[in-house]
Amino acid sequence: MSKTKRRILIYISSLLVLVFSSIWVIKQVQKPPTLYFKTAREAISKAKKINADIYAKKDFQKADECYKHAMNLWRQENKKNILNRDYSDVTKNTIQSKIYADKAYSSAIVDKRNLKDKLDVQISDLKDQVKKLQPLFNILPIPSDIAKQNSQGQLLLFEAERTFKKGRYKDIEGKLVYAEKNIQNSYHFATQMLNDYFTMFPQWVRLAEQARYNSKINNSYAILVDKFSRECYVYYKGDLKNKFDIELGKNWIGKKLYSGDQATPEGQYFVVSKRDSRKTKYYKALLLNYPNDEDKVRFKNGKDNGTLEMSSKIGNLIEIHGEGGKGTDWTNGCIALENRDMDKLFKIIEENTPVTIVGSLKPLKEILNEL
């Protein structure tokens, strides 16, 4: 073999060795797991869109942690010699990241739907309570702190419902807790107030029956006031002749205890005198004999047992008068009629006409059903 041929053969052999060595080196170099990163990133993004970071927080955090750890490992491997790079842990973490992200996505869908259903029921129940009890709550002389609690509860309920419609369910859980607490506490107070008040109902019924009976046997007029319905009934010879709308003292529930309590008294009274516009500031008026003997005894007992302050005064000047029609309870304890109704009443009622004032002529159950 000639020298030339030998050189050519050596050259070709060397070239082949170089080619095969390069192929071997290339095969030994690991490719970065870019596809795994892409699928993990897409899975995390998909979970994020349905708020898995809120509804499946634990799994979403693990997915995010695995992804970030894979990124750190990738950076470390890229700093090494190309032949020494090992992306197996990087790949492992990206795969694990996708698994956690998919799990978070599935869990979030279920948890979000369950929370939505739960909150929907809570909101509906609270709205039903408000619809059922607020009309009653509005006509009661509720203390300002209880009224404020009720208003705050309804405001929170309104905000919760508005946020619910936007799909931000996690944001309203706390609001609903406070809304429910405030609303239910205020209604419990009102309900207890009514239940306590209506323990007097049997007595009110007896007083009303007696007023009608006395009107019949005495062939006379009688006035019967139903505080709860805000109505004044006029009987003659036992028959109903007139019915007028009325307004009461601001703190109308219960008996009048002392001067300044803004309560309208309850019990049996009579007209002491008729007063035209020159003798009263309320157009026309029928002055009642408040306090009667029963009121005086109650007032004395209140001072003796400490339920009333020693400086309290019993009060007087309780009238049935005009200037009503304001649409709210506003008097200091009197009973107010519209002027046109006061004209009718003033014309037919004389001094000594009996006036019976009761809490209600209807039982509480019937009132609640009507409301």
Kindly state whether residues 117 and 212 are assigned to the same domain.
no
| Both structure tokens of 2 | 């000639």
Kindly state whether residues 352 and 243 are assigned to the same domain.
yes
Q: Which residues contact 172 (CB under 8 A, 6 or more apart)?
A: 119, 159, 160, 163, 164
Q: How many CB atoms lie within 10 A of CB 142?
A: 18
144 domain-assigned: no
Residue 10 to residue 343: CA distance in whole angstroms? 135
190 domain-assigned: no
* Domain harbouring 67, CATH code: 1.20.1270
Kindly state whether residues 22 and 36 are assigned to the same domain.
no
Kindly state whether residues 266 and 324 are assigned to the same domain.
yes
Kindly state whether residues 71 and 128 are assigned to the same domain.
yes
Q: What are phi and psi of 354, to 5 degrees?
A: -70, 140
Confidence at residue 207, expressed as pLDDT on a 0 to 100 scale: 97
Provide the 3-class DSSP secondary structure of residue 271: strand
Residue 234 to residue 67: CA distance in whole angstroms? 85
Kindly state whether residues 231 and 353 are assigned to the same domain.
yes
Among 72-81, 232-241, 349-358, name the one with the lowest average pLDDT.
72-81
What are the pLDDT digits (tens) for 222-243?
A: 999 999 999 999 999 999 999 9
Kindly state whether residues 22 and 35 are assigned to the same domain.
no
184 domain-assigned: no
350 domain-assigned: yes
Between 5 and 57, the higher pLDDT residue: 57
pLDDT band with cut points at 50, 70 and 90 for residue 345: very high
177 domain-assigned: no
What are the pLDDT digits (tens) for 159-194?
A: 999 999 988 888 888 889 999 999 999 999 999 999
Confidence at residue 15, expressed as pLDDT on a 0 to 100 scale: 60
Q: How far apart are the first and last CA of the chain?
A: 121
Q: Which residues contact 38 (CB under 8 A, 6 or more apart)?
A: none
- 319-321 and 335-336 beta bridge pairing: parallel
315 domain-assigned: yes
Confidence at residue 23, expressed as pLDDT on a 0 to 100 scale: 44
Give the residue numbers spanning the domain of 9: 1-26
175 domain-assigned: no
Q: What is the pTM of this model?
A: 0.74
| Both structure tokens of 335 | 């009973």
Kindly state whether residues 4 and 56 are assigned to the same domain.
no
Mean pLDDT, rounded, for 124-147: 92
Kindly state whether residues 228 and 366 are assigned to the same domain.
yes
149 domain-assigned: no
Kindly state whether residues 206 and 350 are assigned to the same domain.
yes
The count of structural domains within the chain is 3
The DSSP-derived string for 283-337 is: SSEEEE--S-HHHHHHHHHHHHTTSS-TT-------EEES---SSS--BSS-EE-
Confidence at residue 362, expressed as pLDDT on a 0 to 100 scale: 95
Residue 294 to residue 241: CA distance in whole angstroms? 29
127 alpha carbon, distance to own chain's centre:
8
Kindly state whether residues 215 and 244 are assigned to the same domain.
yes
Kindly state whether residues 115 and 7 are assigned to the same domain.
no
